[in-house]
């Protein structure tokens, strides 16, 4: 069923405002999840101890913690040291791959498309659009099917594995997930994306399959240290959107990402991240179970005590800080003080047109509120998504929406680009890899990595009508 008309703003909670109280069933949910109170307290205290060390390192090093590599390193494979850094921080910048002029041509093509359809273009903020509700432009199609992007996505997807044999997934088969683009002019933003995590909010705890991903963390004790954010096996059945909200990603998307169409750097409206992956995830999952032992009603964020002794286990409270049904997971200095986000959420280093940025689906990220640069800051949102049965269902529906010029299934409904001049068509997909990624040719290999891959490819081809 098509989503209702809306904008990107509808899915983000205000991090400085508490949502309405959650019903009693959320307290009951906490009690079911906490099988051993002492073990959970032990885990919480262990996580807080490690966080103090890790956040101090980020404060000291800033965005030097973010891995930057030339595209050639992707082609030949990252070193063990690079891989260790990537898996710890969850974010990577790939320099080059797409020629600078080609990326600049994509930007000009987008501007021309917007200008040619000015009376039909929608986005947010409506008065001065930055995030465009456009999915089917020729520039977006060319970028999604560019060989350098496909090769980068294949490599990044290969870093995931399954602890369950013959899991039905093909991590070497990226598919396309249509998303928006951003063209941001200098100045303050009327709509700012604060620190958040996509792929659901309260669903992390409420959905049984999603909750299973965090089992090592929720078991308590020291088992949280065994949690591996790159194990795909338990994520495939997780439901990221229980409340049918527009803009909620419903597929399995291991890597979010964007490709730069302009120069942009710190202070120029760029991406901000907290470059800490498994440890931050452990804290976020445990946070709803604890509260201040002696909360002060008007306590400023900077005055919130971080000492573990100041916090107690509380399973009666229904609160899940930063989690509002139908919204992404929001985080702030008030809701998640131990992350020290005033000093640990850092702007990524400068990027040039054609550079790619990817971050793990669980990574905390935001966008700078101010753009103090001289020119536009523009990106195409293009993630890395593997072939699964659920993703094949989405690809089928997305293919149908593309042919009609409608918004992709996860995004706000309406007529979209159906009456726009110059939108992309099937004739604009010029390569076999591109046609496969977009669902217009069957997936096939001479040999398969395991029976799970063979089965998912057969099922996907059937879903797509091949």
Q: Where are the alpha helices (DSSP H) in 145-241?
A: 147-158, 203-206, 208-213, 215-218
Answering whether pTM is above 0.85, one says yes
pLDDT at 412: 86
Give the β-pairing of 365-367 and 385-388. Answer: unpaired
Are residues 113 and 417 in contact, defined by beta-carbon separation less than 8 angstroms?
no
pLDDT at 16: 52
CA–CA distance, 171 with 156 (Å, rounded to integer) = 9
Per-residue pLDDT of the chain (466 residues; tens, 9 = 90+): 554 454 444 444 455 556 688 999 999 999 999 999 999 999 999 999 999 999 999 999 999 999 999 999 999 999 999 999 999 999 999 999 999 999 999 999 999 999 999 999 999 988 889 999 999 999 999 999 999 999 999 999 999 999 999 999 999 999 999 999 999 999 887 767 899 999 899 999 999 999 999 999 999 999 999 999 999 999 999 998 888 766 678 899 999 999 999 999 999 999 999 999 999 999 999 999 999 998 776 678 888 999 999 999 999 999 999 999 988 999 999 999 999 999 999 999 999 999 999 999 999 999 999 999 889 999 999 999 999 999 999 999 999 999 999 999 998 889 999 999 999 999 999 999 999 999 999 999 999 999 999 999 999 999 999 9
Q: What are phi and psi of 106, to 5 degrees?
A: -60, -45
pLDDT at 11: 47
Crossing angle between the packed helical segments 389-404 and 451-463, to the nearest 10 degrees: 30
Q: What are phi and psi of 209, to 5 degrees?
A: -70, -40
Nearest in space to 244 (alpha carbons), one of 15, 416, 4, 408: 4
pLDDT at 20: 81
Q: What is the pLDDT of residues 449-463, one digit of tens each?
A: 999 999 999 999 999
CB atoms within 10 A of CB 228: 12
């Amino acid at each position: 069923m098509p989503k209702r008309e809306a904008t990107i703003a509808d899915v983000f909670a205000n991090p400085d405002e508490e949502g309405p109280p959650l019903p009693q069933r959320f307290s009951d949910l906490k009690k079911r999840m906490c099988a051993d109170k002492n073990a959970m307290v032990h885990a919480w205290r262990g996580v807080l101890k490690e966080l103090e060390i890790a956040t101090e390192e980020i404060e000291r090093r800033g965005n030097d913690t973010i891995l930057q590599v030339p595209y050639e390193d992707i082609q030949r494979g990252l070193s063990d040291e690079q891989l260790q850094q990537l898996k710890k921080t969850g974010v990577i910048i790939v320099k080059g791959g797409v020629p600078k002029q080609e990326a600049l041509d994509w930007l000009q093509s987008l501007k021309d498309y917007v200008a040619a359809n000015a009376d039909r273009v929608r986005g947010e903020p409506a008065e001065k659009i930055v995030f465009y509700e456009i999915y089917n432009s020729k520039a977006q199609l060319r970028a999604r099917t560019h060989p350098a992007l496909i090769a980068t996505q294949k490599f990044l997807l290969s870093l995931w594995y399954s602890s369950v044999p013959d899991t039905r997934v093909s991590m070497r088969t990226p598919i396309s997930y249509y998303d928006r683009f951003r063209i941001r002019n200098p100045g303050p933003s009327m709509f700012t994306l604060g620190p958040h995590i996509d792929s659901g909010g309260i669903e992390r705890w409420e959905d049984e399959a999603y909750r299973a991903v965090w089992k090592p963390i929720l078991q308590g004790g020291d088992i949280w240290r065994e949690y591996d954010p790159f194990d795909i096996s338990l994520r495939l059945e997780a439901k990221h959107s229980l409340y049918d909200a527009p803009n909620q990603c419903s597929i399995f998307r291991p890597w979010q990402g964007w490709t730069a169409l302009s120069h942009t750097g710190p202070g120029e409206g760029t991406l901000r991240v907290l470059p800490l992956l498994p440890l931050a995830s452990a804290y976020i999952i445990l946070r709803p179970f604890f509260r201040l032992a002696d909360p002060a009603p008007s306590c400023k964020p900077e005055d919130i005590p971080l000492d573990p002794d100041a916090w107690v286990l509380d399973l009666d409270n229904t609160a899940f800080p930063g989690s509002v049904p139908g919204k992404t997971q929001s985080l702030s200095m008030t809701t998640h003080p131990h992350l020290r986000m005033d000093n640990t959420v850092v702007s990524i280093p400068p990027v040039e047109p054609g550079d790619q940025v990817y971050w793990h689906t669980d990574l905390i990220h935001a966008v700078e509120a101010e753009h103090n640069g001289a020119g536009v800051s523009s990106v195409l949102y293009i993630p890395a998504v593997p072939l699964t049965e659920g993703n094949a269902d989405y690809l089928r529906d997305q293919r149908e929406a593309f042919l009609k010029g409608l918004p992709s299934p996860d995004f706000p409904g309406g007529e979209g680009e159906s009456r726009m001049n110059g939108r992309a068509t099937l004739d604009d997909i010029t390569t076999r890899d591109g046609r496969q990624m977009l669902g217009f040719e069957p997936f096939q290999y001479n040999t398969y990595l395991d029976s799970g891959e063979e089965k998912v490819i057969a099922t996907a081809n059937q879903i797509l009508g091949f």
